[in-house]
Amino acid sequence: MIREVIIGVGVALTIFLAFFGVNVFPFLLLTAVLVALSMMVDRKGIATTGSKESAVAHRIDFQQIGGQENAKRELREALDFLKYRDKIKSMGIRPLKGILLTGPPGTGKTLMAKAAATYTDSVFVSASGSEFVEMYVGVGASRVRELFKKARSLAKREGKDSAIVFIDEIDVVGGKRGSGQGHQEYDQTLNQLLTEMDGMQTTQNPFVLVIAATNRVDMLDPALLRPGRFDRQIKVDLPDREGRLHILEIQTKNKPLADDVDLDVIAKETFGFSGAQLESLTNEAAILALREGKDKIHLQHLRDAVDKVLMGEKTGKKPTEDELHRVAVHELGHAVTAENVRPNSVAHITIAPRGNALGFVRQVPENDAYLYTKEQLENQIKVALGGAVAEELIYGNRSTGAQNDFMQASHLARTLIHCGLSRLGIVDAENLQKNILDEEIRRILAEQEEETRKLLASYKDRLESLSNYLVDRESMPGEDFRAWLKGKSDIAQREVAATTA
Ligand code: ADP
Ligand code: MG
Ligand code: ZN
């Protein structure tokens, strides 16, 4: 309305000025720019609200969620309360109002909430806890009110009799009330949320179900977890190997894979990856393949993508030729030790600088292990020290490149001690005297270092020649490395030829 008046006056004024011989061109130009700007703002506004409201635009169903079999089953069971709520009502069962999804980021909680909307044929509206937090008191509370109102009106408009309100990062508003740096604004927002949930009835049409997500359930105000509120908690954990395979299959469905790709190999090598990281891995692999002008994604692309997701993009760092040789020797030291203490454990060796690392040996995790024995921990210490020990063996000195390795090794030694696996026996970790702890860490490291040195000494000459090869090639798959170790590869043959010549 106001806009129309301004435009009208503007046009009149321009004509008036032009009539008196004023140069109106700059005005016209300015007007054109302003109009263009305001149109852009409009467009953006529509896009952001539109993408959140429309339930049809992104129909996600449970089949598009890999792994998470338990979580999916529990969620479906809970949703059946909503789906068959007439029956539930006739049995006098209290309706389910809230479901809380807990777990680390990128494991598919948002996907689950969307799939829940599809499964129950509900409309889907969402907001994130951080959106409710503003400087002005009361804004958060009124946003919560609006969110629920929006859910109801959207359901009516689309002719559905239920709505799902998804609140991501609920810990931001649902933290313990009045505790610590408790903030009045957060409290009001939380109170409003509880009020909305308490007011919901089964008889209400449309029925509203709240699904919330957090990775910090311990932080939540207990009032949220009371019966009649979020009384279902479903854990959405990092996927296990089978789950990772399933996710990789889903994420590569639309991508051309070469015959040499065995997704199970990648699933095995990606312990600890979330669904989101696996998604990013498949995407990166496709980009790498494209960059190389290939029309299919090969195993090597997927492996490089694992490195990239773990370590970041290759950096522009350009080590000197000498440094490259040293890095190669260092990484091979890790790799030879790893294969010796745990055969078939080396997945990939690379000396391309990524993130903060100059090189890196990726190991196959021990079958998704959650418990380690003393021997396994000691072996991991050897692998961590292998880099520095190899440098010393070949160059007679060490470099700063092993700083991280030493931190890792000391951490492992500490774990040994705290778990009662050291010579100190069972200890009270909290009251252990610092000098005794330090002494024992030093002893463990020295012992493992000595064993690693003995092991690598027998590889001295071969390490040198393989490092030349690695400097040429930049990276090496685990299989090639094992073939070399067993003296069965072309590289080994060449080595033999060179020494006999
Ligand atoms: P969260 O909400 O737990 O942080 P999201 O649901 O937002 O995780 O996941 C982000 C992206 O990661 C998804 O859009 C999807 O591409 C991928 N993803 C995460 N988990 C899975 C899974 N279990 N199956 C398939 N894809 C997944
Ligand atoms: Mg999410
Ligand atoms: Zn190292």
Q: Identify whether residues 191 and 277 lie together within a single domain.
A: no
Question: Which whole number is the average pLDDT over 225-241?
Answer: 90
Residues of the chain with pLDDT > 70, as a percent, come to 82
Q: Which atom of ligand 1 is nearest to the CA of 112?
A: 6
Q: Are residues 339 and 417 in the same domain?
A: yes
**Is residue 277 within 6 Å of ligand 1 at its C-beta?**
no
Owning domain of residue 302: 241-311
What percent of the chain shows pLDDT beyond 90? 54
Average pLDDT over residues 207-213: 93
Supply the pLDDT for residue 34. 52
Query: Does the beta carbon of 107 sit less than 6 angstroms from any atom of ligand 1?
Result: yes
Q: Phi then psi for 166, rounded to 5 degrees?
A: -105, 125
CA 274–ligand 3 middle distance (angstroms): 25
pLDDT at position 317, please?
78
Q: What is the C-alpha separation between 400 and 388, in angstroms, rounded?
A: 9
Q: Is 247 in the pocket of ligand 1 (CB under 6 A)?
A: yes
Which pLDDT score, from 0 to 100, does residue 54 have?
A: 43
Q: How far apart are CA 439 and CA 414, in angstroms?
A: 11
Which ligand lies nearest to the CA atom of residue 69 in the structure? Answer: 1
Q: Output the CA angle 282-287-291, nearest 5 degrees.
A: 150
CATH code of 79's domain: 3.40.50.300
Q: How far is CA 268 from CA 360, 369, 479, in A?
A: 18, 12, 15
Work out the number of other CB atoms within 10 angstroms of the CB of residue 216: 13
Number of domains in the chain: 4
- Residue 202 is given by DSSP the state T
Higher pLDDT, 331 or 197: 331
Residues 13 and 83 occupy one common structural domain? no
pLDDT at 441: 96
The model's pTM is 0.73
Burial class (CB in 10 A: 0-12, 13-18, 19+), 398: middle
The pLDDT of residue 281? 96
Residue 356 has what pLDDT?
77
Across the chain, mean pLDDT equals 84
Which residues lie below 8 Å from residue 454, measured CB to CB, with a gap of 6+? Answer: none
In a domain, 331, yes or no: yes
Orientation of helix 490-500 relative to helix 460-473, angle to 10°:
120
H-helix or E-strand containing 403? Answer: helix 403-418
Say if 182 falls within a structural domain: yes
Predicted confidence at residue 22, as pLDDT, reads 62
Higher pLDDT, 178 or 89: 89
* Of residues 197, 151, 201, the one with CA closest to residue 170: 197
Of 219, 235, 251, which residue sits at a domain end? Answer: 235
**Does residue 333 fall inside a structural domain?**
yes
Regarding the beta carbon of 279 and ligand 1, being less than 6 Å apart is answered yes
Distance CA 388, CA 448 (A): 13
Torsion, CA 122, CA 123, CA 124, CA 125, rounded to 10: -140
pLDDT at 8 over 70: no
CA–CA distance, 358 with 353 (Å, rounded to integer): 4
> How crowded is residue 338: how many other Cβ atoms within 10 Å of its Cβ?
26
Whether 457 is covered by a domain: the verdict is yes
Same domain, yes or no, for 366 and 451?
A: yes
Of 425, 434, 338, the C-alpha closest to 374 is 425
How many CB atoms within 10 Å of residue 54?
A: 14
- Residue 132 buriedness (CB in 10 A; 0-12 / 13-18 / 19+): buried
For range 61-65, the mean pLDDT: 94
Q: How far apart, in whole angstroms, are the C-alpha atoms of residue 247 and residue 102?
A: 19
**357 and 481 share one domain:** yes
Q: Is the CB of 275 under 6 A from ligand 1?
A: yes
Predicted confidence at residue 47, as pLDDT, reads 34
Query: Which residue among 52, 64, 101, 111 has the greatest number of ligand 1 atoms within 8 angstroms of its CB, and so is best to mutate?
Result: 111
Asked which of 235, 255, 279 is the last residue of a domain, the reply is 235
From 314, 340, 339, 338, select the one nearest 475 (Cα to Cα).
314
Question: What is the spatial distance between Cα 213 and Cα 283, in angstroms, rounded to a whole number?
Answer: 26
Nearest CA to ligand 1 atom 6: 108
Domain assignment present for 435: yes
Does residue 222 share a domain with residue 129?
A: yes
Tokens of 327: 């890095």
Residues 225 and 369 in one domain: no
Dist CA 386 CA 334 (whole Å): 5
Residue 51 clears pLDDT 50, i.e. is over it: no
Mutate to test the pocket of ligand 1, among 279, 284, 309 (most ligand atoms within 8 A of CB): 279
Does residue 424 sit in the same domain as residue 335? yes
| CATH number of the domain to which 405 belongs | 1.20.58.760
State mean pLDDT over 376-392. 96
**Among residues 196, 331, 339, 440, which one is catalytic?**
331
CA atoms within a 13 Å half-sphere pointing along the CA-CB vector of 389: 28
Q: Is residue 110 included in any domain, yes or no? A: yes
For 406, other C-beta atoms within 10 Å of its C-beta total 14
Residue 192 and residue 104 share a domain: yes
Q: Which atom of ligand 1 is nearest to the CA of 104?
A: 3
The protein residue with its alpha carbon nearest to ligand 1, atom 13, reads 276
Helix (H, G, I), strand (E, B) or coil at 194: helix
CA distance 246 to 275: 10
Residue, of 312 and 51, whose pLDDT is higher = 312
Least confident interval from 20-24, 169-173, 237-241, 473-477: 20-24
Would the CB of 211 count as within 6 Å of ligand 1?
Answer: no
| Cα–Cα nearest to 116, from 190, 64, 170 | 64
Distance, CA of 321 to CA of 295 (rounded, Å): 34
Q: Quick one: DSSP state of residue 240? A: -
Q: Are residues 306 and 325 in the same domain?
A: no
Q: Is 126 in the pocket of ligand 1 (CB under 6 A)?
A: no
Residue 316 lies in a domain: no
One domain, residues 304 and 350:
no
Whole-number pLDDT of residue 112: 96
Q: How does DSSP classify residue 348?
A: E
pLDDT digit string, tens, across residues 244-292: 999 999 999 999 999 999 999 999 889 889 999 999 999 999 999 999 9
d(CA 20, CA 417): 92
Give the Cα separation of 60 and 119 in Å (integer).
9
Decide: 263 and 87 in contact? Cβ < 8 Å.
Answer: no
Q: Which residue, among 243, 258, 324, has the nearest Cα to 289 in the 3D structure?
A: 258
Judge whether 431 lies within some domain.
yes
- Whole-number pLDDT of residue 498: 53
Catalytic residue list contains 331 = yes
Structure tokens at 235: 């854990």
Q: Report pLDDT for 203.
A: 64
| Contact between 332 and 463 (Cβ < 8 Å) | yes
Q: Are residues 275 and 401 in the same domain?
A: no
Residues 395-441 pLDDT 10s? 999 988 899 999 999 999 999 999 999 999 999 888 889 999 999 99
Of 235, 251, 273, the residue that ends a domain is: 235
Is a pLDDT exceeding 60 seen at residue 42? no
Reported as a single tens digit per residue, the pLDDT across 153-190 is 999 999 998 999 999 999 888 776 655 455 566 678 88
436-478 per-position pLDDT tens digit: 999 999 999 999 999 999 999 999 989 988 999 999 888 898 9
Ligand 1 centroid, distance to 35 Cα (angstroms): 39
